Amino acid sequence: MQINTVEQAHNLYDDGNIRQGERTVKSLLVGQEGAPDNYKFAYSYGEGDSEWATPRHRHLFDQIRHPVEGDYSIGKNRVLPAGWVGYFPESAYYGPQVMSPNLRMCVLQFGGATGRGFYSTTQRKHAIAQLKAKGTLKNGIFQWVDEQGRTHNQDAGEALWEAACNEPADYPPSRYSDLVLINPATFEWREDQGAPGVARKVLGSFTERDIRIQLLRVESGATLEFGTQPSSEVLFLKEGRLEADGTVHERLTGFGSAAADQPVQLRAHERAELLYIKLPTF
């Protein structure tokens, strides 16, 4: 099992930023490079007065975004409010995207149902260096000049994928025509019959690969079993304190379990609320 905190995590943007504006992106948990369900789970927040922005674009991987605080614009006159959860399917367009300095958000990026995978943080770092050696990255666009002197513009995220994965950005048909925006406040807590003191808000299950999104509530003294699924799983401790392997972990801690890991017991030292995501099963 992986365990990491926002305070200790590496700032991914120390390795390069392909978009407009400044943010801190703490890489909490990662999957296995080359695996179809490889992933990165991060917690991001703004810097100074700088707004972070992107053009309208799409990706060859899935994303789940959960704003904890602040303002997140995901398109013209379209906002994902704090407390909501957004499922961003592979190939589905969104944007222009604007993240205000006051925005604090969890982001999971992972290989979607088609099995194309997701690049690792090391691959990302090398790809940015490769793009900068060939052209320029500015305002979310990669621009370069070919041997015939013609100028080309490409979405920076798409260019990063091609450089990191060494393959063209061949988008599959989208399983969902749009983003799925979820308001957890409209869902009811349901007690987990197999785990006294644990309650769940089941927010959705997606694709034939059984991607699941839930909120969990664990009462003080209750125990949550984590890592029971045939896939990678992610937990993010939003509130409260949880004990794992004899160590008590505070809020803003991420827990990651791989399919081959043994299940673990997480015990709440005070009422805890968590974001839970089951990644695709391949």
Mean pLDDT, all residues of the chain: 96
> Quick one: tokens of 39?
């992933």
Per-residue model confidence as pLDDT tens digits over 29-44: 999 999 999 999 999 9
What's the pLDDT at 71?
Answer: 85
What was the pLDDT predicted at 50? 80
The residues near 133 (Cβ < 8 Å, ≥ 6 apart) are none
Q: Is residue 255 part of a domain?
A: yes
Q: How far is CA 256 from CA 18, 33, 223, in A?
A: 27, 15, 17
Closest CA to 98 of 51, 59, 158: 51
Domain membership of residue 251 as a residue range: 184-278
Q: Is residue 132 part of a domain?
A: no
Residues 6 or more apart in contact with residue 81 via CB below 8 angstroms: 67, 72, 183
Residue 47 in tokens: 């810097």
Per-residue pLDDT tens for 158-200? 999 999 999 999 999 999 999 999 999 999 999 999 999 999 9
CATH number of the domain residue 239 falls in: 2.60.120.10
Q: Provide the number of structural domains found in the chain.
A: 1
CB 198 within 8 A of CB 224: yes
Rounded to an integer, what distance in angstroms lies between the CA atom of residue 107 and that of residue 87? Answer: 10
Look at residue 33 and tell me if it is in a domain.
no
Residue 2 has pLDDT above 80, yes or no: yes
pLDDT at 48 over 80: no
Say if residue 121's pLDDT is above 80.
Answer: yes
Phi, psi of 131 (to 5 degrees): -65, -40
256 within some domain: yes
Tens of pLDDT, residues 215-229? 999 999 999 999 999
Predicted pLDDT at 47: 79
Phi, psi of 266 (to 5 degrees): -115, 120
Across-strand partners of 73? 79, 98
CA–CA dist 26, 13 (Å, integer)? 8
Tokens representing 157? 């995220």
Evaluate whether residue 195 is within a structural domain. Answer: yes
Give the per-residue pLDDT at 139: 85
Q: What is the pLDDT of residue 230?
A: 96
245 within a domain of the structure (yes/no): yes
Arithmetic mean of pLDDT, 83-109: 96
Dist. CA 179–CA 64, nearest whole Å: 10
- Rounded to whole angstroms, the Cα distance separating 223 from 226 reads 10
Position 96 pLDDT exceeds 90: yes
Percentage of residues in the chain having pLDDT higher than 70: 100
Alpha carbon distance 72, 92 (integer Å) = 18
Give dist(CA 272, CA 267) in Å, integer: 9
Enumerate residues 6+ apart whose C-beta is below 8 A from 47: 22, 23, 24, 101
In a domain, 274, yes or no: yes
Residue 198 covered by a domain: yes
